[in-house]
Amino acid sequence: MSKPVLVLAALRFEASAFTSLQRKDPEHWRVEVTGVGPAAARRSAEALIRQLQPKWVVGVGVCGALDSSIQRRAIVVPDRLYSDEWEGGISPSPLPEELRHAILGRARTIAATNRTGADTPLVVSTGALVSVRTVAASPEQKRALGAKYGALAVDQESYAWCEVANSLGVPATILRVVLDGLGDALPAWNRPRDWPAALALPYRALAARRVLKAIEEGLSCGHW
């Protein structure tokens, strides 16, 4: 039996955009949910990689922008990862060029056919991403992280996924979709001033999921 490509997501919402890969070709693809945060990501990733012995790990999901040039629904493929737990950074494995082109093509098709988001550029942005233990909810927190790490985006799990994969000799690539821009505060229901943003969050999440689905379609086009 050939080794599968292991797709990791923190949330079922994110993983659900990729489950058709496993359904269509269960020997070639495995899609798994690790849970939220670096500790859960590290623990689950290690168990899954040891069990499945995959030939590649692909970490997917949403992220926040740390740079004003990175807009919502943009695809981020980081070439450097940092963590607020550890000094120094690590490098994910580069995305094969044919897959980059396939993913970008599918994302552009979605943008062109979605009138509500057709004016939003869907670009594959390279650069650094930082994984944090606590969600960066405010624009001030995001700006501080961007300045400290020189990063374009923030999440919680990517560093842990890649760190584990690298330690076990498995290449790992990260593909994230921007859910919240630099100026967007992640809302809290206990603050009435945040309610308009909270009501908009499900729409933004569904828009990001459409781009995650485009990534899934692009991944299915390549050879791993």
CA distance 83 to 69: 22
DSSP conformation class of 194: G
Question: What is the residue type of 61?
Answer: G
Q: Which residue has the higher pLDDT, 2 or 194?
A: 2
For residue 96, report the phi and psi dihedrals to the nearest 5 degrees. Answer: -55, 140
pLDDT over 50 at 18, yes or no: yes
Q: What is the pLDDT of residue 59?
A: 98
DSSP conformation class of 109: H
Q: What is the pLDDT of residue 111?
A: 64
pLDDT over 90 at 81, yes or no: yes
What are 142-194's pLDDT values in tens digits?
999 999 999 999 999 999 999 999 999 999 999 999 999 998 887 665 555 65
CB 42 within 8 A of CB 163: yes
End-to-end C-alpha distance for the chain, whole angstroms: 15
Q: What is the pLDDT of residue 117?
A: 47
What are 105-156's pLDDT values in tens digits?
887 777 666 544 444 556 778 899 999 999 988 899 999 999 999 999 999 9
CB 52 within 8 A of CB 166: no
Mean pLDDT for the chain? 88
SS3 78: coil
Residue range of the domain that includes 55: 5-219
Q: Beta strand 75-76 with 124-125: parallel, antiparallel or unpaired?
A: parallel
For residue 53, report the phi and psi dihedrals to the nearest 5 degrees. Answer: 50, 55
CA distance 77 to 100: 9
For helices 38-52 and 158-167, the axis angle rounded to 10 degrees is 30
Q: Is residue 224 part of a domain?
A: no
Q: Is residue 132 part of a domain?
A: yes
Q: Is residue 168 part of a domain?
A: yes
What's the CATH code of the domain at 170? 3.40.50.1580
Q: Is residue 55 part of a domain?
A: yes
How many independent structural domains does the chain possess? 1
Q: Is residue 25 part of a domain?
A: yes
Q: Which residues pair with 30 in a beta bridge?
A: 6
Q: Which residues pair with 153 in a beta bridge?
A: 65, 129
CA-to-CA separations, 12 to 16, 109, 110, 126, in angstroms, rounded:
6, 25, 22, 26
CB 94 within 8 A of CB 44: no
